[in-house]
Amino acid sequence: MILYVNRIRVAQSKVATHRMQRLVVVFCALFCVSTCSGDCPSGCECFEASWTVKCISTSLREIPSDIPGYTSNLFITGNEIRRLNYNSFDGLKNVTNLVLSYNGIKEVASHSFSSLTMLRSLDLSGNQLSLIHPEAFSISGSPLQELNLSSCLYNHTSLTDLITALRWGGLGSLLRLDLAGNRLVLLPPGMFSPLPSLQRLFLGNNSLVAVYNGTFSGLERLVRLDLTRNAFRTFSAEGLRELERFERARLLLGENPYACSCETEEFADWLNSSRVQVGDSERVTCFSPPELRNAAVRALTAQALGCYGKPKEEGVADLTLQTSYVFLGLVLGFVGMVFLLVVYLNRHGIKKRVTDTHRACQDVLDAYQYRYEIDSDPRLRHISTNNHQQHHRHTAEPHTGRIPSDTCITPVPADITDITL
Ligand SMILES: *[C@@H]1O[C@H](CO)[C@@H](O)[C@H](O)[C@H]1NC(C)=O
Ligand SMILES: *[C@@H]1O[C@H](CO)[C@@H](O)[C@H](O)[C@H]1NC(C)=O
Ligand SMILES: *[C@@H]1O[C@H](CO)[C@@H](O)[C@H](O)[C@H]1NC(C)=O
Ligand SMILES: *[C@@H]1O[C@H](CO)[C@@H](O)[C@H](O)[C@H]1NC(C)=O
Ligand SMILES: *[C@@H]1O[C@H](CO)[C@@H](O)[C@H](O)[C@H]1NC(C)=O
Ligand SMILES: *[C@@H]1O[C@H](CO)[C@@H](O)[C@H](O)[C@H]1NC(C)=O
């Protein structure tokens, strides 16, 4: 019985709460219609209680001029706004948080945000900025603390523009900068030095390949640096020295295509022993060679990297020496081949010449031997003086005397050949 009564009470109270809720909803709707319908730009939603205005995907072509003055959080995204002008945000002194992502913005004029003297956070992500004027971000008093420029630089010229705008923007209070997804390949040295307060720098999802001396100069307060999803294959000694300056920061280096060869040894040692904190070192893994794919770089020894425990310089020197020997061998081989080819092509001519020479030599030698025999036999000499043929031989004396000291290739005088016949 008691249980039954209780159940009825519970049911009654449930109905009551439900009625109350409906009443509140109706009251709120009435309140909102009475207050919001007044000065809210068409296509936008205005929430006075939270000082928030949202103009989302309503094909706006420019920033509405009738945004309420109380607005503190302004979201204008997914529209078709091509250009921001110096007076686009006039009269919006209370805006602290401005989101302008995915509006197809191409151009940001100088002093576009200068009326927003309370602006803390600016999000321009997902636009196609191709023209950023040098003083695009300047606001007197430097209130800006967060700047989101992810996936918004149109091409390399925009990066140059941006660097100028960072220098001229008076961004001394900026704490957080997002430059992810901008296909950045190279960061010019000193690019971030106009941002002395910066604490968080997001450079993920770009195409960065190297860090140099000065890449991060001026960033003394950094606590977080995101270099994930780039194109780093390793970090050079110079790059590691540059990263070494972030002793108190948390670095993210994962998801890069690290090539684990002997050149990676220094990086592996650094990961294992540096005081710099790499927050995702378990994700710093080899992409190549295939046999080391997904191996943690920090766990790799010199042997595993193919350095065979040699000091790096020696290995390199050996390699150069080997390379030059191989090159020399190749050149000699080539010369030899060419020689053989020439010989092969001329084989008939050469054969003829060789037989000719051989015959000539034979003749000369025969002649010499004949003469020697005659000269060494006194009887024959005596007889021969009267001989017609011997007379002939005497006239050939200067030639025959010279022959032994000469090579066989010397043209043989015809008269000597005659003798042997
Ligand atoms: C801006 O904010 C200040 C204080 O937060 C407030 O007093 C002022 O009325 C606001 N301005 C407008 C136009 O609502
Ligand atoms: C910047 O904007 C992108 C996309 O709009 C978002 O994913 C990212 O989290 C933002 N960055 C920061 C640091 O809030
Ligand atoms: C970048 O785009 C702008 C505008 O289309 C063009 O004028 C400029 O030449 C481009 N720069 C490069 C490096 O392609
Ligand atoms: C990475 O950047 C490209 C633009 O360079 C962008 O289209 C893509 O959405 C980004 N990926 C992520 C996961 O943010
Ligand atoms: C790095 O650059 C600074 C000046 O920008 C120079 O003083 C220093 O010697 C350089 N360090 C190396 C290792 O090249
Ligand atoms: C990492 O460093 C420790 C000492 O700091 C050393 O004993 C260990 O062998 C190192 N590991 C690699 C893979 O270099």
204 token code pair = 């993920």
Ligand nearest to the CA of 94: 1
Helix (H, G, I), strand (E, B) or coil at 120: coil
Residue 245 has what pLDDT?
92
What's the burial of 1, exposed, middle or buried (CB within 10 Å: 0-12/13-18/19+)? exposed
Q: Ligand 5: which atom is nearest the Cα of residue 238?
A: 13
HSE-up (13 A, CA, CB side) for residue 158: 20
How many Å lie between the centroid of ligand 2 and the Cα of residue 112? 21
Q: Output the pTM of the full model.
A: 0.70
How many Å lie between the centroid of ligand 3 and the Cα of residue 70? 39
Residue nearest to atom 14 of ligand 1 (CA): 70
Average pLDDT per run of 10 along the chain, which is 421 residues long?
47 54 48 56 95 96 95 97 95 97 97 96 98 96 97 95 96 98 96 97 98 96 97 96 94 97 93 93 94 94 78 52 67 74 72 68 58 51 46 44 41 42 39
Helix (H, G, I), strand (E, B) or coil at 99: strand
Q: Ligand 1: which atom is nearest the Cα of residue 51?
A: 14
Cα 380 to Cα 365: distance, rounded to the nearest angstrom: 20
Residue 409 has what pLDDT?
43
Residue 366 has what pLDDT?
63
pLDDT digits (tens, 9 = 90+) for 325-335: 666 777 677 77
Residue 282 has what pLDDT?
93
pLDDT digits (tens, 9 = 90+) for 218-236: 999 999 999 999 999 999 9
How many Å lie between the centroid of ligand 3 and the Cα of residue 157? 6
Q: Ligand 3: which atom is nearest the Cα of residue 158?
A: 1
Residue nearest to atom 4 of ligand 5 (CA): 214
User: Is 143 touching ligand 5 by the criterion CB < 6 Å?
Assistant: no
Residue 341 has what pLDDT?
75
Residue 413 has what pLDDT?
44
How many Å lie between the centroid of ligand 1 and the Cα of residue 97? 15
189 token code pair = 């040295």
